[in-house]
Structure 1
């Protein structure tokens, strides 16, 4: 089991925000991406942040967007579509979406519109 599985989503979240704000994107855009990916509403997302939910529990409670299979490419040197562990793949889906936002990709493209 990977160490990241037991890490709280709330402990990584500020790093996503910092990365995006450094590139001129907003926390609201990050939330839009997370809501799209997980099916959570803003209140549920905030609950997970406040409760310091682990990545394991965060994604266990998510209702992943059916279009996640369209998220492809390399993150941390690995193709996301080839990751065998379902939880690791879900975490990397989120990483990939954050990276695409940070690189200036249009929101409709990031959300596979």
Structure 2
């Protein structure tokens, strides 16, 4: 089975799109970073290294220190796909991150986004 092309897309190419989406709705890069770090377990330095390192999205998630245990609580539809029904584990992680950034851009509170 052929891999989805998003898996080989550089994280440094996707990250600015997340930031732009959030900033267009009045949110900040710091909030985007907080959401990404919450989901993946990266600290700020580790996230910065991933952005600058040129790793693809597959490597970004493979090197993630630890996916947050509450990631399973991320539910809903993003890009017409129900996040909790995505079978491929890597694609599910990507969709979870997409969903968190969508919620941030929609103005949800950080406590709600971080499933607290």
Q: Name the TM tier (shorter chain).
A: over 0.9
Shift of 1:112: 0.2
Aligned to 1:90: 93
Are residue 61 (structure 1) and residue 71 (structure 2) matched?
A: no
Distance 2:115 2:26 in 1: 21
Q: How many residues align?
A: 113
Shift of 1:27: 0.2
Aligned to 1:17: 19
Shift of 1:53: 1.0
Distance 1:92 1:38 in 2: 13
Shift of 1:52: 1.4
Following TM superposition, the consecutive aligned residue runs of length 4 or more in structure 1 with deviations greater than 4 angstroms are: none
Q: TM-score, normalised by structure 2?
A: 0.96
Are residue 112 (structure 1) and residue 115 (structure 2) matched?
A: yes
Aligned to 2:78: 75
Distance 1:73 1:87 in 2: 17
Distance 2:72 2:81 in 1: 15
Shift of 1:76: 1.0
Structure 1: any 5+ residue segments left out of the alignment?
none
Distance 1:57 1:106 in 2: 30
Structure 2: any 5+ residue segments left out of the alignment?
none
SS in 2 for 1:112: coil
Q: TM-score, normalised by structure 1?
A: 0.98
